[in-house]
Structure 1
């Protein structure tokens, strides 16, 4: 929770709308203006309404993103405010989670009003909504529309979809019919028939429907420009062949990218995919195919560059088709969450044996597998730049024999001289393994050791990585917690820019002083380190003047170490003074129960906002909510503007 992310509404409501509008005008015309975090901060739309009222006078705003906003206003009121934004081309009102208690709702009435904003070219209304075919008809007036994203909105399945034919300029269409976890409704054939009338469609994403009652699907082979197809949450209550039925009516021969997510697929799916000879990227994630499904049909996809088979049930015992994918540079096969973690479950040894033929493979993701001797095969992939062999969800401690083999195998990875990213989170890597990889990975930029067996003294090996810029050592096991001594070792990694050590209970504010030696440190996350006193931490970090992002404090109302005591607290004046000394700081995350109210002096507040033109809007409002003094902030802002 960010300091001020739960800002006081009274403080926000006292902020002058004309001043907020003046700040908004400072954004370049080409920039997308996002108010989502602002409205989530304030939990009030009163000032948003007033600011937009001011903003629409003489503005040339082209992009407006209200995604995630807590829009406690009728849809008609919002549209009245947007009406005079005559230059507006991009509008997003997306919402990740349904808010059934909010009065704002994307419905047919809103669509009718949006249909009169003839200049719109991109419209994003992705949130649970009661839009029906009537609402879709009202959008028919947007003849310039090139991107349309809707849903979940099950009401659209009861419509004829005829009005979609009016959007002849549409290049991207993304529609979700049913919400995740709910029973999907059958997709009428009439809907697909109308999609065939979109001559310029390049990308089509459809989600949340059932194909069991869909017969004699119309052909969409006329969509000659379609290159990107995505199907998500597509089911068939009668047989696992629903996706195949859908693919047969699509122009798969011209596809460049195909994504299947959370779909029921059968044995006839991959033979169909093999016809997509122009395919460059294929993703099959969280799908439930027939066990032992053979992938040899993909041998003919000679142009395939990226292949993702994440979190699906065991697909194949024969990976020989990989030898024929001569252009493959990215491959991912993360373990299914319900599968056993051993590498033999997916025949990883056979996978790697065939992958070796792909000497130009650059990215490899084998998350969730307990690897051992297989690391020797990975070492043969000398072109690798990114490798993820993290084992989140695996019980590494119960496999001590694998832990030993794993660390011996890490030494072989030292030969991957081009490797830039390495994820070893939740693995059994210890001092021996860390020494092995640090001896040769001279180009490594990003390293994740979270949840591993690495201890303080082991971190001394990191100094052998001259280009290391990002390091994560989060949530170490209780016996291997990183302490102040570990930070002292980390401070010797001179190129470090981003450091995450959250969830380590042995780090104190005193240990943070070591980080002053990292003159380029820009991002630091020490949150949920219960031994760190936030007030002392701000004092210890005064030497880290390059900081752009800082997260500290516990997410809980009390510290883990002292559950019977109040959490350590820091004054708002101290926060403002710290910000004034940090010229590049744009994010300060601190839970509200760590903050005590007081009023920073006018001099400190003016110093904190002197570089307003370089700030994002939401940062300015965060300072409003943590300042405790609207008057002083307003005076400082008026002086600056």
Structure 2
């Protein structure tokens, strides 16, 4: 802010307002809203229905944000207030249950967005929603008491575009049938439910469905036969589904896929061997070549913890449109990286916990579009970092476990756009931080596990005023060095675990100089 003014932003879905620092007078409306929320606790206000809906919305949002005053009793003041957005997901105040639903349903046709994730609302509670015909999005994530009877209650909400029923343990195949009537659905998340291939067959008529999250469901590759009937499907998450090779040829029918997550499945390139007359195909694995066949629009591919090795990457070479590739914890090494060298659109690449070493990193130097690179691997050293200096567009660089020394930090000067940097291999001293202090665009910095860092490090980085998150745990930082953090007014998260610093030390700093600090360790 001009003139060094320090301000604090409070955020909530569909709400964002500015609270200036104490010596400045807040806007009159903000003062009124704060006063009203305080008076709610003593039940001074019995109804807000005569107020304009937008003002009611702001009062309601502030109550939710404060996590203090909103209860089934105080909620009665919002009866018939025409609220558009009710976000009670993971609400920290009173337990949200069916007792809240009468007031929620009284918003009627005005209600557009409802988040009840983590609540105790039951099937009976959902019966109240029948008059909320204009709801666009519903979130029931971790609502363990909702089953088919509850989903039948929302089947009449035909304008619904987004539905989240992740981690709803009671959801089984029969519960999918009511969803077949929600023909305007564009987003459906069913992760970690008991739904199988049969349940997915009820989704065939959802022709507008663009995103489907089936992570952890009991589906097989046979569900692809039903998914092939969805012409708008562009984002599919099948991670942790224990998929087998049977039926995987159906992937070629999902021609409009742009995002595909197959992490933690038995995806492998072993099935390519029979084409060369070498080895027998693994019967319970998904062939990468089969999966990628005809998926010419694919922009994001997640193969985290799959059985992919160097030769399997040859099937990625022709996918010039790829901009995000997740290869963490796979069997690839440096030899396979040359297959990636031509992916000119690639912006995000994760090679953590792979066998990639310094010798292969030079093959990535032509990826001029790369913005995010994860090289969390012990075999990466200063030499490998030197090979990457042409990637000047990087904004995120994760070298968490890499063995980067003070000398290696000289190469960081080439990455002037870095916003996130992690170097936690244990080989840095204060001398290395002298190069990091020049990275003025940094907002997130993790230097934990470097035990030789001292209070001098805090002095060196005191000029990185854009920092939002800072972690220097397991180092030699002491209470005496905390004074150097006073300039980091934007800091929201600070971790100094296993340092000679106590929670009280940080609280004092928070109260006097770091008003935006909301997360800190130790605590």
TM-score, scaled to structure 2: 0.73
Counterpart contact for 1:49–1:81, Cα < 8 Å: no
1:126 equivalenced with 2:141 (yes/no): yes
The equivalent position to 1:315 in structure 2, one of 286, 293, 297, is 286
* Residue equivalent to 1:187: 173
1:589 equivalenced with 2:516 (yes/no): no
The equivalent position to 1:209 in structure 2, one of 189, 194, 203, is 194
**Distance in 1 of aligned mates of 2:99 and 2:398:** 48
* Residue equivalent to 1:19: 38
**Distance in 2 of aligned mates of 1:433 and 1:592:** 34
* Residue equivalent to 2:123: 108
The equivalent position to 2:218 in structure 1, one of 219, 227, 235, is 235
**Distance in 2 of aligned mates of 1:361 and 1:256:** 17
Residue 114 of structure 2 aligns to a residue in which SS? Answer: strand
Residue 472 of structure 1 aligns to a residue in which SS? Answer: strand
Counterpart contact for 1:243–1:263, Cα < 8 Å: no
* Residue equivalent to 1:390: 352
Residue 380 of structure 2 aligns to a residue in which SS? Answer: coil
Does 1 or 2 have the higher relative contact order (CA < 8 Å, sep 6+)? 1
1:224-623 pair list within 5 angstroms? 224-235=207-218, 243-244=221-222, 246-249=223-226, 252=229, 254-257=231-234, 258-288=236-266, 292=270, 315-316=286-287, 319=289, 325-336=295-306, 346-348=308-310, 350-369=311-330, 371-391=333-353, 406-438=357-389, 440-474=390-424, 476-477=425-426, 480=427, 482-518=428-464, 520-533=465-478, 535-545=479-489, 547-554=490-497, 559=498, 567=502, 569-570=504-505, 572-579=507-514, 586-591=516-521, 593=523
Counterpart contact for 2:255–2:295, Cα < 8 Å: no
**Distance in 1 of aligned mates of 2:399 and 2:158:** 51
Count matched residues.
Answer: 469
**Distance in 1 of aligned mates of 2:158 and 2:263:** 32
Give structure 1 stretches of 5+ with no counterpart.
1-14, 40-44, 96-103, 141-163, 237-241, 297-312, 337-344, 397-401, 580-584, 594-641
Alpha-carbon RMSD across the aligned residues, in angstroms, is 4.4
**Distance in 2 of aligned mates of 1:83 and 1:327:** 42
Structure 1 residues 374 and 35: alpha-carbon distance in aligned structure 2, compared to 1, 3 A threshold: farther
Deviation at 1:540, TM superposition (A): 0.7
Deviation at 1:530, TM superposition (A): 4.7
* Residue equivalent to 1:627: none
Deviation at 1:464, TM superposition (A): 2.3
Give structure 2 stretches of 5+ with no counterpart.
1-33, 42-47, 275-283
**Distance in 1 of aligned mates of 2:346 and 2:147:** 49
**Distance in 2 of aligned mates of 1:126 and 1:36:** 18
Structure 1 residues 229 and 410: alpha-carbon distance in aligned structure 2, compared to 1, 3 A threshold: closer
Question: C-alpha deviations, 1:167-205, integer Å up to 9, x for none?
Answer: 3333344445863xxxx98624xx555444444344444
Counterpart contact for 1:201–1:226, Cα < 8 Å: yes
* Residue equivalent to 2:18: none
TM-score, scaled to structure 1: 0.61
**Distance in 1 of aligned mates of 2:445 and 2:55:** 31
Deviation at 1:428, TM superposition (A): 1.8
Deviation at 1:131, TM superposition (A): 3.2
Residue range with higher mean Cα deviation, 227-236 or 463-472: 227-236
Question: C-alpha deviations, 1:570-593, integer Å up to 9, x for none?
Answer: 2755432113xxxxx533433465
* Residue equivalent to 1:4: none
Structure 1 residues 110 and 588: alpha-carbon distance in aligned structure 2, compared to 1, 3 A threshold: same
Structure 1 residues 55 and 502: alpha-carbon distance in aligned structure 2, compared to 1, 3 A threshold: farther
Counterpart contact for 1:222–1:251, Cα < 8 Å: no
